[in-house]
């Protein structure tokens, strides 16, 4: 039987995603995604919001991240398994789906391992654009795994960063990152300690993978007038910053109900004040108010960012051929006769 048009759903494979990146340009996609995510943050009240549904194990976590703006529904499946790289597996893998709310029919299925790296970097850049000190052009990138190059290039493309200072406990990871960024136009400085990496940096980005309470940055390492993007702390029992840094920072979050469980602020009392980033973007709450202020974006990733990224990809693939049609949906001639369709297929 030939599938009908109603049965087909566009699917963006890993190969297609890479082709799309090369056609549009990596930095341009990062700019586009930053603007797409910000546009959806500016209509934050329109979205259904819920903390992601997480299934934790000793080795990692598997999560579902749903949201809807009333017209389109989206979700992402994603895992985080820090020890995976020891066996040749990715730490994070993901795929996502968009559906039409009116009918419930899926309208896009996409790989999201690459897209998650892009949207995470774009979200970091969006926060830094709003919160970093004026004239910030040096970033410390602590944790040089799969996310580090995307973070560095997003800061370059969106925020005007021209220098990145790299550090990872694994020197091979730093060498990999430095080699990948060698022709990026960024000045790349390889550092031998976190203290070395943050010297002279205006933006401090931490993105480490270990599922544990860690102190990547101690309180005495962080001076006045910097912006911190803390990305690695993204599940219960996993943090990167000393509590003292949090206590003297202005803290900005995506969705407090999720961040208090998963983010750096799980170290603080539940009533500790935080500001939702969407309110800074729409001007109803203050962001950076002085050059001496320490601002902290406690980023755990939220479903609206994935929704924005999937909607961007759905538009970007139009007319490109960078998708295939999957026969995913049963479409009997009589919607009430699914059994008959199965029987006739013989």
Residue positions annotated with a catalytic role: 234
CB 10 within 8 A of CB 311: no
Distance CA 118, CA 154 (A): 8
Distance CA 56, CA 80 (A): 10
Rounded to whole angstroms, what are the CA distances from 335 to 46, 54, 107, 179, 342?
32, 35, 19, 56, 12
Rounded to whole angstroms, what are the CA distances from 292 to 55, 134, 198, 272, 345?
40, 11, 16, 21, 70
Rg of the Cα trace of the chain?
21
Distance CA 115, CA 323 (A): 15
Distance CA 310, CA 304 (A): 10
């Amino acid at each position: 039987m030939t599938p009908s048009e109603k049965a087909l759903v566009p699917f963006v494979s890993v190969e297609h995603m890479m082709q799309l990146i090369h056609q549009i340009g990596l930095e341009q996609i990062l700019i586009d995604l930053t603007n797409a995510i910000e546009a959806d943050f500016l209509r934050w009240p329109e979205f259904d919001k819920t903390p992601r549904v997480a299934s934790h194990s000793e080795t990692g976590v598997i999560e579902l991240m749903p949201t809807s703006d009333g017209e389109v529904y989206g979700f992402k499946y994603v895992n985080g398994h820090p020890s995976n790289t020891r066996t040749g597996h990715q730490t994070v893998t993901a795929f996502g789906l968009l559906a039409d709310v009116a009918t419930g029919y899926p309208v896009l299925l996409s790989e999201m391992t690459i897209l998650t790296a892009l949207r995470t970097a774009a979200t970091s850049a969006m926060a830094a654009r709003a919160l970093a000190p004026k004239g910030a052009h040096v970033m410390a990138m602590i944790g040089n795994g799969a996310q580090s190059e995307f973070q560095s290039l997003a800061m370059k493309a969106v925020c005007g960063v021209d220098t990145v200072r790299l550090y990872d406990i694994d020197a091979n990871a730093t060498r990999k990152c430095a080699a990948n960024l060698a022709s990026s136009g960024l000045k790349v400085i390889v550092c031998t300690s976190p203290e070395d990496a943050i010297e002279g940096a205006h933006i401090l980005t931490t993105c480490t993978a270990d599922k544990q309470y860690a102190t990547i940055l101690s309180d005495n390492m962080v001076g006045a007038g910097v912006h911190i993007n803390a990305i690695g702390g993204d599940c219960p029992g996993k943090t990167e910053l000393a509590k003292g840094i949090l206590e003297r920072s202005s803290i900005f979050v995506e969705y407090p109900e999720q961040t208090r469980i998963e983010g750096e602020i799980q170290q603080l009392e539940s009533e500790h004040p935080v500001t939702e980033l969407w309110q800074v973007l729409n001007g109803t709450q203050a962001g950076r108010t002085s050059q001496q202020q320490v601002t902290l974006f406690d980023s755990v990733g939220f479903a609206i960012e994935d929704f924005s990224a999937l909607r961007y990809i759905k538009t970007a693939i139009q007319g490109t051929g960078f998708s295939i049609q999957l026969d995913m949906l049963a479409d009997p001639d009589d919607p009430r006769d699914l059994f008959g369709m199965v029987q006739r297929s013989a």
